[in-house]
A and B are shown apart, each in its own frame.
Chain A
Amino acid sequence: DAGVTQSPTHLIKTRGQHVTLRCSPISGHKSVSWYQQVLGQGPQFIFQYYEKEERGRGNFPDRFSARQFPNYSSELNVNALLLGDSALYLCASSFAGTGGISPLHFGNGTRLTVT
């Protein structure tokens, strides 16, 4: 089975531009989360979507937005890019349901560089 896939793998943008990152979850997974990992730090939670609705939001500015589509894939959008947005952006999916937590499965991430 295919794992979580993210595109693109690398991206270089200029300050002030807009970027869209994409994520396809594991088949059958309905929950998608986004994380930002700055070099040398642990990932920071940005958003969680479940059944196409936002279920959680981290401490990030309104320049960050996301959505989940009917096929459960997801996009993360960042407007007015700043140098500090340079990071590895990780997408994770999980199978949601009763009976306890299923762990998050992560993609390989998108490396965003803002110049």
Chain B
Amino acid sequence: AQTVTQSQPEMSVQEAETVTLSCTYDTSENNYYLFWYKQPPSRQMILVIRQEAYKQQNATENRFSVNFQKAAKSFSLKISDSQLGDTAMYFCAFMKPGLYNQGGKLIFGQGTELSVKP
């Protein structure tokens, strides 16, 4: 069975600075997907960034980038130039593709609560 672990329950960062959130996972699969989701107080889970395991290049989305280390089963999220609107709970998630490529189940970590301070 797959597991996802986020070892930092809470983190804080000053506005405009850089912060890195950690995530490790355990799987015997070779083909899978990793995601970072953001959940602000509004409750909606918002996709931040995704990474396909077969891609060696780390994914980037504007101020967000990942450090994907497949052998180490590590998937950290770096947020550059932090903004007040980045304050939220961040979840790391693992997905094994379903039989019909319809998007299999997501396995989430416990979350890291990030506070961006002015």
Contact = CB atoms under 8 A, between A and B. Distances in A.
Contacts of B107: 45
B108 A42 contact: yes
Contacts of A58: 105
Interface residues on B, range: 20 to 34
Contact of B43 (A31, A41, A102, A108): A108
A103 B47 contact: yes
Given A50-B98, A55-B99, A96-B101, A108 B42 contact: yes
Contacts of A100: 52, 101
B53 to A, nearest CB: 11
Contacts of A101: 33, 95, 97, 101, 103
9 contacts: A31-B103, A55-B100, A56-B98, A99-B101, A101-B103, A103-B35, A107-B44, A108-B43, A109-B44
Interface of B: 4, 33, 35, 37, 42-47, 50, 52, 91, 93, 95, 97-111
